[in-house]
Amino acid sequence: PCARVCVICYRLAQLASAAPTPLAMATPLWLRLAPLASLVASALPDGGPAQCPQAGSDETRAGSMLQVGLRSGGAPAASSAARAALMFKIHGPDALPSLMQALCLVTHAHNARARRDVVVFADLNLTAADVSALRSTAAPARLEVVELHETPQSVLAGLPADVQRRVEAACGTAIANIGWDTVCGEDGNKIKAPMNYLYMNWFRIVQLWTHPRLAEYDYLLQMDADAFCTKPWDFDPVQMLIDRNLTYIFNGFPGVANDCLVRGVRRVSARIFGRALCDVDLEGGHLRADTTSCGEGPFADSEDDGMRVIFGSFQVARLSFFRGELF
């Protein structure tokens, strides 16, 4: 999946570098996108989530960092012509307290006005009471919970036999014995994680963009379930994507990925695009594919030594790109 993400980065960089910049957008785009980073925070200064305002109230509870009510000002309502969804991914009920907080805050900060459908993907079943509470928190927007996989076996059974053997080696046990809490990691990989976390990344990187439940939407705004809004949004990120004809907006770059996360990327990019992707740069708010520095600089030790990648807790995407032939 990481190879696919980096190939996507390569294509996005190609698109960005090929697109002319209108005079009205002469200001470097990164300056214009800078407010995105302040819209959400993966952790608040006191180490815990702020108290969310009560639904329908103009006043926040004591200690809240979000000073906004449903009737306060903010970004204009979303354009009805563009179908967009707000999406979260959780493993199961243990993530509900954090998700409820994140959902409540983003509702008050933005979605009470935008009224974008909320789609929550969950591996494990949520009770009817839990789903009802989420829907009340998301109101006036519509919310749906989509169950993905109750067991790791329902995910792993669909993999080719050689990949299943690789998973068994990484997890140190047979496919039938792997649980959501089984910690896996290939030899030489310093990053080891439980299967539920590994699958979350697999889903978000590979399966999310073309999931049948999202077929009715043109755009997707994805947030982590522990990303908490700290102030009202004074602009609409989805509308920004549309107005500026962008493909993807992200809130974290660069993250340095070591060889275990980008293994094979250069070979894949060379096969598909005819040039190896050596690294990714950020220039004027756009990704730029570096295809000339392979064998130089900090990533020169081996073919798969590493490169800079996108990371973060917040992303906005034009889904038509991911439905295209390249993806």
By the 8 A CB rule, do 219 and 114 touch?
A: no
Query: What residues pair up with 296 in beta bridges, in sequence order?
Result: none
Look up residue 44 and give its two tokens: 């608040």
Residue 46 lies in a domain: no
- Are residue 267 and residue 247 in the same domain, yes or no? no
Domain span holding position 202:
80-252+312-326
Question: What Cα–Cα distance (Å) separates residue 303 from each residue in 134, 210, 267, 276?
Answer: 46, 31, 9, 10
By the 8 A CB rule, do 2 and 259 touch?
A: no
- Are residue 248 and residue 161 in the same domain, yes or no? yes
pLDDT of residue 81: 62
Residue 208 lies in a domain: yes
pLDDT of residue 34: 36
For residues 101 and 282, what is the distance between their CA atoms, to the nearest angstrom?
Answer: 33
Chain-wide mean pLDDT for the chain?
A: 77
Please list the pLDDT of the chain residue by residue as tens digits (327 residues). 444 444 444 444 444 434 333 222 222 333 333 334 445 544 333 333 445 744 333 333 222 333 333 333 445 454 556 799 999 999 999 999 999 999 999 999 999 999 999 999 999 999 999 999 999 999 999 999 999 998 999 999 989 999 999 999 999 999 999 999 999 998 877 778 999 999 998 899 889 999 999 999 999 999 999 999 999 999 999 999 999 999 998 888 887 776 667 777 888 888 888 888 888 888 887 889 888 888 665 555 455 567 888 887 899 999 999 999 878
Q: How many domains does the chain have?
A: 2
- Are residue 199 and residue 304 in the same domain, yes or no? no
- Are residue 215 and residue 241 in the same domain, yes or no? yes
- Are residue 268 and residue 233 in the same domain, yes or no? no
pLDDT of residue 160: 93
- Are residue 135 and residue 276 in the same domain, yes or no? no
* DSSP-derived 3-state class of residue 52: coil
pLDDT of residue 145: 97
- Are residue 246 and residue 265 in the same domain, yes or no? no
pLDDT of residue 39: 53
- Are residue 195 and residue 289 in the same domain, yes or no? no
- Are residue 292 and residue 189 in the same domain, yes or no? no
- Are residue 229 and residue 261 in the same domain, yes or no? no
Any idea what the CATH number is for the domain that residue 133 is in? Answer: 3.90.550.10
CA distance from start to end of the chain: 11
In the chain, DSSP finds a helix count (H) and a strand count (E) of: 13, 14
Question: What Cα–Cα distance (Å) separates residue 205 from each residue in 94, 120, 122, 304, 315?
Answer: 23, 16, 16, 20, 12
Residue 111 lies in a domain: yes
Residue 64 lies in a domain: no
Identify the CA nearest to 146 among candidates 164, 162, 124: 124
By the 8 A CB rule, do 185 and 193 touch?
A: yes
**Whole-structure pTM value:** 0.76
- Are residue 167 and residue 135 in the same domain, yes or no? yes
- Are residue 140 and residue 271 in the same domain, yes or no? no
